[in-house]
Amino acid sequence: MTKIKLSVSSKIPSFKPGQAIVIAVTLKSKTLELLQHRVDTSSLAGLDLSSLGVSARFEHLTRVPGPNGSVFALIGAGQEELDEDSLRELGAVVSRSLTSFKEIVFDLPTDDDRDAASTLEGALLGTYKYRSVFESKPVGSELASIQVLSDCRVSSKQLERAEILAHSVERVRDLVNTPPNLLFPQSFATIVASESKNYEVSITTLDEKALKAEGFGGILAVGQGSSRPPRLVKVEYSPKKATQHLALVGKGITFDTGGISIKPAASMVGMKYDMTGAATVYQAILAIAALKLPVKVTSYLCLAENMPSGTAIRPNDVIPIRNGKTVEVLNTDAEGRLVLADGLSAASELSPDLIIDIATLTGAARVALGERYSALMGTADAVSAVEAAAFDSGELVWHMPLPAELKAKLDSDVADIANAKIGSTAGGMLLAGVFLKEFVGGGKKNSKPQAWAHLDIAGTANNESAAYGYTPKGATGVLLRTLVGVAEGMSR
C-alpha cells in the first residue's frame, strides 16, 4: 500500500486542483438535498443536480466541477442517517472511484471519533490494487492525502489502526489473488518467514517429514497427491503482559482440484481461493502484533495442494488425525475439514481461551447464506465474541446450529468418523461443522470445555460481481477485521 497521509480536521481547506470534496446527497420530499457539510457550496446553488446525474441512491457517485479546479464528489446517502458502517462503505466507494485525485476531503456528517475513523478506514480499504506478493515495491497511486472534516478528535492510535487493518486486508487479497502456480505450500511458507521478520512473532514450519513425525495425518493425506508437498506453519505472538490466549486455525488449500473425487471443470476455476482461511489467520496475527495488543495469539496455517495422482488419497482410505482419532475418507473433495482437524487438534493441546477456525469450507454455505453473510458456528461464548467483533467491524455473520443428530450421518465401520455423507446434500454446511467439533478440546492444562467458533467463508471470500462498499471484485479479505476485533475484545 502506498503511504497516504490521513487526517481529521475542523479547518476547512482551500479549493485547489487535484482535490475532490465529498458531500452526501439525500432525497427529501422528492427533492435532492446536500447533507450537513462545512465547505462553501454556493457554486452548486443554481444547478439542477438531477439533470447532472446526481442521485440519492446509496453509493451513487457524481462529479461536479468546484471552485479553482477542484471537484465536488456528490455521493448518494440513501434514505437513512449515516452511521459507522455506511460511512466506511462510502469512504471506500469514493477512494476506489477517484483514483486520479491527489487529495480527497470527506465533508460528511460525523457524530463522533468512530465515525471519522471508520470513514478513513473505508477509504483506505477502497484504494486496493492487486500487487504480487513476491514484489516489495508498492503499487503506485496519485492519491496522497485523505482528510475528514470534523470537530471530533481522532487519536494517532486510531489512525494507525486504520492503516494497519487496511494493509492486512490488502495483503490477504494479494495472497488470495496470486496464481496457484506461484503460490503453493512451500512458497506460502517462504513468504510467511520473510514477511514476518518485521513483526514480533516467531515462526515454526513443519515439512512433510516433520508432519509425519508429529502425527499430522490429515494435512499429509490431503497433500500426498501433489508434487508440491504440504506444510504446517505455526505463527506465535506472545506479549509479556498477555492474560488471554487466542488460537486461530486457517484452511490453506493452495489449489483444490477435488483430488480423486475430482471437481467438474467449471467448479475448479477459482479454487486458488481455497487458501483464504490461512491467509486470513496469518495476516490477522501480524495486525494484532503491529497493534501491540496484550493478548497471546497462535495461528496455524494448514497448507496443502489437493491434486489427483497415483499417490493421492482414495475414497475409503483411513487416516489418523493429530488427536488420535481416525477418519474414513469418503469424499476427497471434503479435504478442508481434514487439514482443519489437524490444526484444531494442535490448537486444542494449548488449551487457549478461545479457538477460531476460518475456511472456505462448503459450497452449502454459499447456497444457504449467499455471498455477503459468512456462517458462524460454535460454543455460545465463542459465538457471542465473534458476533460482537463482527458488528463493530461492519462485517456480516450468521449464527448457524450444530445439530447433534447429524453426527450419526458420519458413522464409519472402519474408523472413528467419516469425512462426508455420500449421496446426501442435506445440511452440508452444518455437517462439516459437526465433523470439526470432534477435533476441538482435549487440552491437558484444564478440563473445562473449549470455547470454539467456526467460520465458513466459502460464499464471502471471493466476490465474482462488481465491487461494492469496501468489497472489491475478487478476493475480499473478509473477516480479518473481525478476528482482530476479537483479539481487541480479549485484551480489554
Number of C-alpha atoms within 13 angstroms, CB side, residue 435?
31
Residue ranges with strand state E in 292-416: 296-306, 318-320, 326-328, 354-359, 374-378, 397-399
Amino acid letter at 291?
A: L
Task: Give the residue ranges of DSSP H helices in 374-473.
Answer: 380-393, 428-437
Q: Rounded distance, CA 266 to CA 257, Å?
A: 11
Residue pair 122/80 in contact by the 8 Å Cβ criterion: no
Bridge-based pairing state of the strands 145-149 and 5-9: parallel
**Measured in Å, how far apart are the chain's first and last C-alpha atoms?**
29
Residues with Cβ within 8 Å of 265's Cβ and at least 6 positions away in sequence, in order, are none
| Residue 312 to residues 36, 146, 211, 274, 421, Cα–Cα distance (Å) | 63, 52, 17, 18, 20
Q: Which of 369, 364, 389, 362 is nearest to 453 (CA)?
A: 389
Catalytic annotation present for 337: yes
Q: Which of 190, 197, 256, 199 is nearest to 226 (CA)?
A: 256
Residue pair 253/274 in contact by the 8 Å Cβ criterion: yes
Q: Rounded distance, CA 338 to CA 321, Å?
A: 8
Catalytic residue among 337, 421, 437, 481, which?
337
Q: Rounded distance, CA 172 to CA 471, Å?
A: 13
What's the grid cell of residue 293? 495488543
Residue pair 461/176 in contact by the 8 Å Cβ criterion: yes
Residues with Cβ within 8 Å of 466's Cβ and at least 6 positions away in sequence, in order, are 473
Catalytic residue among 38, 102, 263, 407, which?
263
Got the DSSP string for 10-41? SSPPPP-TTEEEEEEEEEETTEEEEPS--S--
Sign of CA dihedral 274, 280, 285, 286: positive
Return the ∠ at Cα 469 (arms to 467 and 472), rounded to 5°.
Answer: 35
Catalytic annotation present for 263: yes
Q: Rounded distance, CA 27 to CA 285, Å?
A: 43
Neighbours of 330 (CB within 10 A): 19
Q: Which residues are catalytic?
A: 263, 337
